[in-house]
Amino acid sequence: MDIWFQDEARVGQQGSQTRIWAPKGTRPRVVKQQQFISSYIYGAVCPKQRECAALVLPFANYKGLELHLKEISFNIPTKRHAVVVLDQAGYHKAKDINIPDNITLLSLPPYSPELNPQEQVWRHLKDRFLSNRVFENSKSIVDACTQAWNAFASDKEKIFSLTYRKWADLTP
């Protein structure tokens, strides 16, 4: 059995701003867009297997969650089962969600994002790849999200170091 942590993050024109390097005594300028185009990264990590799965979709809803659960299911090794830990967003509790046979959902307590290591992945992606940016259109947002996730997914040690929690390790 494996533990996967799942969450969604919005990325768009009114995105995050972070600190930047600038010469001492100067005041750097960072563009802040006023438009409203955005997309959502559905991401999940399995620290023990050093695996992850993601989709970039235009909306955060239960249909998107279903697609993401299928993607997670595809990444679970044969004859293994996954417990997918997620928050209690309204669409996570929809009654007609199709859950793959090799997945069981486990909800976190309300208002406890600190228990979901996927939050550290979002912080890493936003700090390193997705902040202080200008996006022309939805395609540029999707491209940036894809590049950021692929860079993260290719670093197996980064997956482990950002998301491993001893309390979630099922190894005896």
Give CATH for domain 2-10+36-166: 3.30.420.10
What is the predicted pLDDT for the residue at 14?
63
What is the predicted pLDDT for the residue at 129?
92
Per-residue pLDDT of the chain (172 residues; tens, 9 = 90+): 899 999 999 998 666 666 677 788 888 776 665 667 889 999 999 999 999 999 999 999 999 999 999 999 999 999 999 999 999 998 888 889 999 999 999 999 998 999 999 999 999 999 999 887 778 899 999 999 999 999 999 999 999 999 999 888 877 6
What is the predicted pLDDT for the residue at 132?
79
Domain ranges of the chain: 2-10+36-166
What is the predicted pLDDT for the residue at 27?
80
Predicted TM-score (pTM) of this structure: 0.87
Edge to edge, what strands does the sheet with 51-57 contain? 51-57, 38-46, 2-12, 82-86, 103-107
> How far, in Å, CA of 55 to CA of 72, rounded?
10
What is the predicted pLDDT for the residue at 133?
79
8 A C-beta contact, residue 70 and residue 100: yes
